[in-house]
Structure 1
Amino acid sequence: MKYKLVTFAFLLASINLMGQIPYNNRYTSPVFSEIEINTNVIYGNAPALLFPYILESLTMDEDLLMDIYLPVGDTLSKRPVLLCMHSGAFLTGSKLAEDMVAFCDSMAHRGYVTASIDYRLGMNPLSSASSIRAVYRGLQDGRTAIRFLKENRNVYNIDTNNIYMLGSSAGSFVGLHNIFLDTEDERPPETYSNPDLGCLDCSGNNYSHLGKSNGLVGLWGSLQDTTLIVETDTIPVLLVHGTDDGVVPFGYGAAFGNPAFPASYGSELIAERIENLGYKPEKYFVVGEGHEFYGTNNGNWPVGPNAYWDTVFNKTVSFSHSIHMPYAGFYHEQIENNAYFYDQSQKANSWYWDFGDGNYSTEQNPSHTYSNSGPYNVVQFVSNNLNSWDTTSAIISITVGIYEHQQPLLSLYPNPAQINILLKNNDSEAMNVHVFNTRGLRVDGLKILPQQIYKLNVEGYLPGIYFVKYRNTKGVMTKTFLKIR
Structure 2
Amino acid sequence: MKHLLTSLIVLLSIVSLSSQQWVDTSYTIQTERDIFYGTARGFAGATDSLFIDLSYPINDTVPACGRPLLVMIHGGAFIGGDKAEDYPPRIREDFAKRGYTTASVSYRLGQIHTNQAINCNVPLWNCYNMTDSSEWYRAYYRGIQDVKGALRYLINHSEDYQIDPENVFIAGESAGGFIAMGVGFLEQDEVLADLVAEYPDAPAPNQLYEGACIQTLGLANNIAEMDLTRPDLGSPEGTLNLPLSKPYHIQAVGNFYGGVFNNIFTTNAADPPALYLFHQPCDLIVPYRTARVLAGYVNCLLGFPANCGYIVNRPIVYGSLGIKQMIDTMVVNGVPTSDYLFDNTTNNWNCLQQATNQSLSCHTIDNYWLRTTNMATYFAEYIDTCAVSATVMLEDLPDLVHIYPNPANHVTTIEFKEVQAEVSLVVTNALGQVYRRQTQQNCTMITLDVEEWQSGFYQLLFEVGNQRISRKLIVNTGN
Band the TM-score falls in, shorter-chain normalisation: 0.5 to 0.7
In structure 2, relative to structure 1, the CA distance for the partners of 1:210 and 1:94 (3 Å cut) is farther
Percent of residue pairs bearing the same amino acid type: 23
| Structure 1 counterpart of 2:53, one-letter code | D
Once the two structures are TM-superposed, the CA of residue 167 in structure 1 deviates from its matched residue by 0.4
Once the two structures are TM-superposed, the CA of residue 322 in structure 1 deviates from its matched residue by 1.1
The match for 1:221 is 258
TM-score by length of 2: 0.57
In structure 2, relative to structure 1, the CA distance for the partners of 1:205 and 1:288 (3 Å cut) is same
Q: 2: distance between equivalents of 1:68 and 1:301?
A: 32
Q: Secondary structure of 1:344's partner?
A: strand
- The question of whether the paired residues in 1 share the 8 Å contact of 2:50 and 2:107 is answered with yes
Structure with the largest fraction of strand? 1
**Structure having greater relative contact order (Cα 8 Å, sep ≥ 6):** 2
Paired residues in the alignment total 305
The match for 2:277 is 239
Once the two structures are TM-superposed, the CA of residue 79 in structure 1 deviates from its matched residue by 1.0
Once the two structures are TM-superposed, the CA of residue 187 in structure 1 deviates from its matched residue by 4.0
Once the two structures are TM-superposed, the CA of residue 100 in structure 1 deviates from its matched residue by 1.1
Q: 1: distance between equivalents of 2:157 and 2:169?
A: 16
Pair 1:344 & 2:424 matched: yes
Q: Secondary structure of 1:312's partner?
A: helix
In structure 2, relative to structure 1, the CA distance for the partners of 1:290 and 1:102 (3 Å cut) is farther
Pair 1:146 & 2:151 matched: yes
Once the two structures are TM-superposed, the CA of residue 286 in structure 1 deviates from its matched residue by 1.4
The match for 1:38 is 32
The match for 2:324 is 271
Q: 2: distance between equivalents of 1:96 and 1:383?
A: 39
- The question of whether the paired residues in 2 share the 8 Å contact of 1:98 and 1:301 is answered with no
Larger radius of gyration: 1
Residues 305-316 of structure 1 aligned to structure 2 (within 5 Å) = 308-316=367-375
Match of 2:345 among 281, 286, 291: 286
- The question of whether the paired residues in 1 share the 8 Å contact of 2:52 and 2:106 is answered with yes
- The question of whether the paired residues in 2 share the 8 Å contact of 1:79 and 1:159 is answered with yes
Residues 65-214 of structure 1 aligned to structure 2 (within 5 Å) = 65-74=51-60, 75-77=62-64, 78-124=66-112, 125-127=129-131, 128-183=133-188, 186-193=191-198, 194-208=230-244, 213-214=250-251
The match for 1:256 is 294
Q: 2: distance between equivalents of 1:262 and 1:233?
A: 29
In structure 2, relative to structure 1, the CA distance for the partners of 1:39 and 1:343 (3 Å cut) is same
Once the two structures are TM-superposed, the CA of residue 289 in structure 1 deviates from its matched residue by 4.6
Once the two structures are TM-superposed, the CA of residue 186 in structure 1 deviates from its matched residue by 2.3
Once the two structures are TM-superposed, the CA of residue 238 in structure 1 deviates from its matched residue by 0.5
TM-score by length of 1: 0.56
Structure with the largest fraction of helix? 2
Q: 2: distance between equivalents of 1:155 and 1:202?
A: 24
| Structure 2 counterpart of 1:277, one-letter code | M
The match for 2:381 is 322
Unaligned 5+ segments in structure 1 are: 1-22, 50-57, 328-340, 347-363, 366-379, 391-485
Unaligned 5+ segments in structure 2 are: 1-17, 113-128, 199-229, 296-310, 332-336, 386-393, 395-420, 427-439, 442-462, 471-479
| Structure 2 counterpart of 1:120, one-letter code | R
Q: 2: distance between equivalents of 1:167 and 1:150?
A: 19
Q: 1: distance between equivalents of 2:319 and 2:90?
A: 25
In structure 2, relative to structure 1, the CA distance for the partners of 1:307 and 1:62 (3 Å cut) is closer
Q: 1: distance between equivalents of 2:49 and 2:25?
A: 33
In structure 2, relative to structure 1, the CA distance for the partners of 1:313 and 1:196 (3 Å cut) is same
